[in-house]
Amino acid sequence: MREVPWTHAIAAAAALTVAVFTPRPVTAQATDIVARDAWVRESTATRTTSAGYVTIENHGTRDVTLTGVAVDGAPRVELHAMTHDQGQATMKRVSQVRVPAGGSVELAPGGLHAMIFDVTRPYERGKSVRMTLKFEGNQTKSVEAVVRPLSAVSVR
């Protein structure tokens, strides 16, 4: 049997203590996140793109980061932001969106939104689809999104 020098044993014990007792960063819980007023634009067999909108409220004491969105019936969804400069609107993909503690973020027409690509079966007006919000730390929040007409500009 081989003896381990006492300095190695102490170093190993110290490393284990640090690994076990090092606090992990605290993130908001999924229960702190409220998703409301979710909707998507209708699509057709030939118009296979759509856009998704929702208000995300963070009732927690820590910021949360939205990292993605999934919508049933669409293999690809990206977060996009619209910017307006001298009457010209530009859409740009964003990788994440911070939702401040005690605050909210609105994905709405003309601003931040979920761009939905390659809809496999048309989203029919008056029906709904599941929208899943993905947050840092492998947290998700799902909500039913009502399908609204192409001309819709708000949830109402």
Q: Residue 29: its pLDDT value, please?
A: 58
How many other CB atoms are found less than 10 A from the CB of residue 73? 16
List, in order, residues 6 or more apart from 112 with CB less than 8 Å away.
Answer: 79, 80, 81, 82, 94, 97, 105, 106
Structural domains of the chain sorted by starting position, each given as residue range(s) with its CATH number in brackets: 30-148 (2.60.40.1890)
Q: Residue 115: its pLDDT value, please?
A: 97
Average pLDDT score over residue span 70-76: 97
Q: Is the pTM of this model over 0.75?
A: yes
Say whether pLDDT at 19 is over 70. no
Q: Residue 87: its pLDDT value, please?
A: 84
Enter the DSSP assignment of 121.
S
Q: Residue 12: its pLDDT value, please?
A: 45
Average pLDDT across the chain, whole number: 85
**φ, ψ of residue 55 in degrees (nearest 5):** -105, 130
Pick the residue with more confidence: 155 or 36?
A: 36
Chain segment 23-53, per-residue pLDDT in tens: 434 445 567 999 999 999 999 999 999 999 9
